[in-house]
Amino acid sequence: MFERRQQPILPRPAFMHRVARSVGVATGLLGVSLGLGVVGYHALAGLDWIDALLNASMILTGMGPVSPLQSSGAKLFASAYALFSGVVFIASTGLIVAPLAHRFLHQFNIELEDDRGSPADESPGRHPRAKPSQPKT
């Protein structure tokens, strides 16, 4: 999915497309997760749609529940949804940060290779920044 170490850095328009795609996937993941929470709170806890949306949104963002839950089934759902939401939040953050972090590290790697020459110029046992030895005359 990402370019390898030896490949040139991705041009800016293609990189922006990659970031947009990652944000889109993360948004879709969050949307599906929110939808599952709304339907679960409505069906299992008996909350109105707007209250179910509020509870699911608050759990998904880590703020905590708003409406008190009466039944054991609703409480079990809320527990499972809270655990699920934590994983989804971390995964969506990773999806958004991954292309940015990769580009930064790839640029950093390219700059290091430019400073010390191509990897083919290095001989085993020689420090990458050491100057080649001059033949004695």
pLDDT one-digit tens code per residue, 29-75: 999 999 999 999 999 999 999 999 999 999 998 888 888 888 999 99
Kindly state whether residue 46 falls inside one of the protein's structural domains.
Answer: yes
In a domain, 5, yes or no: no
Average pLDDT, whole number, for the chain? 82
pLDDT above 90 for 106: no
Please state which of the ranges 17-21, 34-38, 41-45, 110-114 shows the lowest mean pLDDT.
110-114
Q: Give the phi and the psi of residue 133 in degrees, each rounded to 5.
A: -70, 145
Instruction: State the average pLDDT over residues 13-17.
Output: 89
Segment (H or E) for 22: helix 12-45
Task: Using alpha carbons, select from 35, 120, 30 the residue that is nearest to residue 128.
Answer: 120
Q: Does residue 22 lie in a domain region? A: yes
pLDDT tens digits along 95-105: 999 988 888 88
CB 129 within 8 A of CB 116: yes
Instruction: Determine the average pLDDT of the residues in 83-89.
Output: 93
For residue 21, what pLDDT is reported? Answer: 94
Domain extent, residue 56, equals 12-113
Angle ∠(52,54,58) on CA atoms, nearest 5: 120
CATH number, domain at 109? 1.10.287.70
Q: Is residue 59 part of a domain?
A: yes
Domain assignment present for 136: no
Report pLDDT for 61.
87
- The answer to whether 56 and 81 have CB atoms below 8 angstroms apart is yes
pLDDT at 111: 60
Total structural domains within the chain: 1
Q: Which of 49, 41, 48, 44 is nearest to 85 (CA)?
A: 41
